Structure 1
């Protein structure tokens, strides 16, 4: 009886969250933390935590497809994880190899148009894992509905350092003029994988840090972050919906701030006929609180 009540409560809360969410972010990055701690809590071998966490990963992809997320990046194995005991590393590599090949052959992956890519220092990985990466990438290269980036042997500093070295090398050989180095130039030398900036970073397991994950694509502090206490195998759809709600609230705050800045700009110019300022204010006016929007409409005749 108690379990049934919980199921009903869960379903009602999920419906409520869906009603509160107006849309999904394009790119979600996930730090899947807590597999080993979950296993210890359950009295299981730590490797079993990784196996159960892999099941949560499959569910996450279903949720992303359902909600219209265009890109997912999973922090699967960092460069720091090489410090773990050899038996733990080998189990994770075996699991990654198995899941990559399974995903690459799964009908639902092809039906959903999932493009699989790996990002990180491939030369650090066992040959069997690299072979599985090549297989998954080749089998899904033609798709673009959902990009799935698997971060393996990944470290954000290592990525940026490698890109800086490659840019410097190209400048030294005369292939690039120093004055031409810009954002697009640097992005050409990053790991091939993410196609857009990260909108939302999710971390499970209770820690509140992003751990050197996608520092470039997180675009400074522009990405919304959602930290939650459930270990990764415990992560549920309602947790994911709460994360998206956090992103949406962040977007609304951002739009309100831009609207107020645009209004302040128009007022400071003192000329309501300035086209660019007027256009900016029109773009963001709906994000203003009612009283501020009504005042702006009255002052600058913005209402349609």
Structure 2
């Protein structure tokens, strides 16, 4: 009966605005493990089962991108046994997702790993690369696993990349705008983040998707541990988002308009720009497009052109 009820509710939700990109800070796995007396390690594995369930629900709803905070760079400071448990979990589940997951095949999910993978051991890097390679041609949906990741590191990476582009003459200084910076982030081929959810009752972002959530994103902090999170806890969040969806879209349009005005040159420069040849404009566009497309230092974050 619960399956039938879920199907009815999902169909009803589809009549409203469906978010295209949802992020999850999957917090509380260790505390849940202690709560149910199964230990930290088992808590992490139960958390992965919740991820599978929520990913399935997201695909049923028509959500295109799910981004999860799997491992923070700061987590390397945890006790070695906890780090090892998380690394082994990542290896096991990434292999399972890319090789044996019916969910990935059914919904054409591309797996991308966002973060500084150079910090991982070679065996984990190998599994990461394999998962990305085996699913890179999938283009109906995306699972972004942030591992190991922080927003500060992501923005520093994007800044270094743009600076290097200027040094090598692949970019001009005048090419750098907020839009180009945003297109240099790991999430560059994803739609804007519509909803961010953090479990465990903590009210902070913990250095996760700070740029992406700054642009009219619906953020919710839920007072339950991640392994306790279910579709029925997700439901009221989706309903609240649907109520706010129109105002969120309007806020984004205002932000884009403001940024466009800030980028507009003064009148004297505008006259010169109007007199510039179309070839120069096209050359600039092609230069930026080429730079953003051929960024070989992000091998585990390939561009995904999602089907509409």
The TM-score normalised by the length of structure 2 is 0.74
SS at match of 1:153: coil
Per-residue CA deviation, residues 47-98 of structure 1 (Å, 9 max, x unaligned), is 1110100100110111011110000001000111111111101111101110
Q: Deviations over 1:181-229 (max 9, x none)?
A: 12343244323665221111011111122221112222x1411012111
Instruction: Name which of structure 1's ranges 100-109 and 181-190 shifts more when overlaid on structure 2.
Output: 181-190
- In structure 2, list runs of 5 or more residues that go unmatched: 253-308
Rounded Cα–Cα distance in structure 1 between residues aligned with 2:195 and 2:248: 14
Q: What is the alpha-carbon distance in structure 2 between the residues aligned to residue 76 and residue 255 of structure 1? A: 28
Structure 2 CA distance for partners of 1:257 and 1:58, relative to 1, 3 Å: closer
Question: Which residues of 2 match residues 102-121 of structure 1 at below 5 A?
Answer: 102-105=96-99, 106-121=101-116
Partners of 1:32 and 1:255 lie apart in 2 by: 26
Match of 1:176 in 2: 171
CA contact (8 A) 1:201 1:223 kept: yes
Equivalent residue, structure 2, for 1:3 = none
Gaps in structure 1 of 5+ consecutive residues: 1-6, 259-304
> How far apart in 1 are the matches of 2:251 and 2:149?
35
Deviation at residue 256 of structure 1 after TM alignment:
8.1
Q: Give the direction of change, closer, same or farther, for the CA distance of 1:25–1:188 in structure 2 (3 Å limit).
A: closer
Tell me: CA distance 1:236–1:192, structure 2 relative to 1, closer, same or farther (3 Å). closer
Give the corresponding residue for 2:150: 155
1:93–1:26 Cα change, 3 Å: same
Query: In the TM superposition, what is the alpha-carbon distance from 1:248 to its structure 2 partner?
Result: 1.2
Q: Is the CA contact 1:27–1:197 (under 8 Å) kept in the aligned structure 2?
A: yes
1 CA distance for matches of 2:123 and 2:204?
32
Task: Please name the residue that 2:206 is paired with.
Answer: 211
Quote the Cα distance in structure 2 between the aligned partners of 1:188 and 1:112: 26
Q: Return the match for 1:59 from 30, 53, 64.
A: 53
Q: Match of 1:199? A: 194
Contact 2:182 / 2:188 at 8 angstroms: preserved in 1?
A: no
Instruction: Quote the residue 2:162 is aligned against.
Output: 167
Q: Check whether the contact 2:183–2:189 (CA below 8 A) recurs between aligned residues.
A: no
> Partners of 2:9 and 2:79 in 1: how far apart?
44
* Whole-angstrom distance in 1 between the partners of 2:251 and 2:67: 29
Report the CA distance between 1:148 and its aligned residue.
0.6
Computing the radius of gyration from Cα coordinates, the structure with the larger value is 1
Partners of 1:31 and 1:74 within 8 A in 2: yes
> Which of these residues, 56, 63, 73, is aligned with residue 67 of structure 2?
73
Distance change in 2, residues 1:80/1:170 (3 Å): same
Q: Report the CA distance between 1:255 and its aligned residue.
A: 6.4
Which residue of structure 1 lines up, in the alignment, with residue 216 of structure 2?
222
- Tell me, yes or no, if structure 1 residue 185 matches structure 2 residue 183: no
Change (3 A) 1:11 1:34: farther
Residue of structure 2 in register with 1:288 after alignment: none
Distance in 2 between residues matched to 1:123 and 1:13, nearest whole Å: 41
Deviations along 1:161-182, whole A, 9 cap, x unmatched? 1211221232234332111112
**Aligned mates of 2:248, 2:34 — CA distance in 1:** 41
Structure 1 residue 50 and structure 2 residue 44: aligned?
yes
Give the C-alpha shift of residue 13 in structure 1.
Answer: 9.2
From 132, 137, 151, the counterpart of 1:137: 132
